[in-house]
Amino acid sequence: MKPIHIGLLGVGTVGGGTYTVLKRNHEEIARRAGRDIVITMIADKDLEKARKLADPSVIVTDNAHEITTHPDIDIVVELIGGQTIAKDLILEAIAHGKHVVTANKALLANHGTEIFAVARAKGAIVAFEAAVAGGIPIIKALREGLTANRITWIAGIINGTANFILSEMREKGLSFAQVLEQAQKLGYAEADPTYDIEGIDAAHKITLMSAIAFGIPVQFSKVYTEGITQLTGEDIRYAEELGYRIKLLGITKRVEKGIELRVHPTLIPMRRLIANVEGVMNAVVVKGDAVGATLYYGAGAGSEPTASAVIADLVDVTRMQTADPMHRVPTLSFQPDLLSDTPVIPMEEVETAYYMRMQVIDKPGVMADITRIVADYNISISALIQKEASADSNTVSIIMLTHLTVEKNINAAIVRIETLSVVTGKVIRIRIEELKD
């Protein structure tokens, strides 16, 4: 059978890995796909880099449009990133009858609805396994493996850079800045690393997973997002003392009022497997009503792990492209005309448990003042600890864990606690997830 011709846009970390792995495992991949999958054209701004990587038979250009419009290209692989040029190129490729594989979660979280609709109208496939959790085949699991289930929640460590930073800070006591620099050198971080540390990248990924899990449109604007920049070594240590580990989690849940969609640092009981996922590794727990909790684990970023997901998509598209578009696996798992309008609920209405730490002047009545405020908002305390004062300070840390409570009540209580004259500074608040049911 005639080989499938691939045009590769961008040979940076992921594009370079994709070329290398496809070349190395070429024969085995062809046996799976049923035909050869060959990269025949490459576009990169840096022609020298592209020429160094590619075999002489590959056409190298710095004009990506040559590829997206070329009649001999069957599948365009977009690995440039960003939301402007990448979007134009993907739309142009689709308009020219090509299928698309991309790792670009930022683009799909923001413009997925438009891109998927254009692709559907043209009978084109847009595949994006590499966009979520690097090498872990979580899109395939959600879209195909778990289709019998009514999914109730997903919780994932889905940003390798943030997890790498938290692990290195905890294990080696390194500073935030030191570890971020390392993650950038290793090719884990986004072009703009604030996406990683402010939770935006994780928000892109949980948006995509939520759409596939619940059959709702891709709604990035509705995600509540909080990153790891405010986390201190002190809270990481106190959490450990209480039997928890702090992770940046992407969470989406089906609850009575709608869908929760959020990213924030989270205390997870240390005994959960996911609490022990360290470094650049990612893990996603998916709870389905039939299967129960399932856990997917693997490298969440990096050249070859991400290439593994890109190439899996290439094989899938190669296998599926001859099928009638009506009988292909739907992009978001649910049939596109059967998406649900279940609302994403505002963060203020979300119910979780909380860890709070406050610095207070060590004198009688302080604890009573604080607990009175908490009681006024119907917040039930599950643990309350006062740390010993250091020799050179008259303040102590109070750590409070709560039972499940509504976010708006915690917010209101924090505002009042911070007005107490005995409380110095801001109250630190981190959400807790038990991840058991």
Please give the residue ranges that form the binding site for ligand HSE (CB under 6 A): 134, 159-161, 188-190, 196, 201, 300-301
Coil, strand, or helix at residue 221? helix
- The gap between the terminal CA atoms of the chain, to the nearest Å, is 49
**In the numeric block, which tokens belong to residue 373?**
């405020």
290: Cβ contacts below 8 Å, ≥ 6 apart: 148, 149, 150
CA–CA separation, 101 vs 77, rounded Å? 5
CB count within 10 Å of CB 31 equals 9
- Residue 14 near which of ligand NDP, ligand HSE, none (CB within 5-8 Å, type-dependent): ligand NDP
318 lies in the site for ligand NDP, by CB under 6 A: no
Q: What is the phi/psi pair of residue 319, to 5°?
A: -70, -35
8, 44, 137, 168: which one contacts ligand NDP (CB under 6 A)? 44
The window from 9-17, 51-59, 118-126, 258-266 that contacts ligand NDP (CB under 6 A) reads 9-17
128 lies in the site for ligand NDP, by CB under 6 A: no
Q: Is-contact 425 350, C-beta < 8 A?
A: no
**DSSP state letter for 345:** P
CB-neighbour burial class of residue 419 (10 A; exposed 0-12, middle 13-18, buried 19+): exposed
- Residue 74 near which of ligand NDP, ligand HSE, none (CB within 5-8 Å, type-dependent): none
Nearer residue to ligand HSE within complex by CB, 309 or 370: 309
Task: Please tell me the chain's helix, strand, coil percentages from 3-state DSSP, rounded to the nearest 5.
Answer: 40, 25, 35
- Residue 159 near which of ligand HSE, ligand NDP, none (CB within 5-8 Å, type-dependent): ligand HSE
Q: How many residues bind ligand NDP (CB under 6 A)?
A: 27
Nearer residue to ligand NDP within complex by CB, 188 or 355: 188
In the annotation, is 287 catalytic? no
269 lies in the site for ligand NDP, by CB under 6 A: no
Nearer residue to ligand HSE within complex by CB, 54 or 139: 139
Residue 289: half-sphere exposure toward Cβ, Cα within 13 Å: 10
Q: Least distance to ligand NDP from the beta carbon of 157, Å? A: 14
187 lies in the site for ligand NDP, by CB under 6 A: yes
Interactions with ligand NDP, residue window 133-152 (CB under 6 A): 134
Q: Least distance to ligand NDP from the beta carbon of 191, Å? A: 5
Q: Least distance to ligand NDP from the beta carbon of 416, Å? A: 42
**Residues designated catalytic:** 205
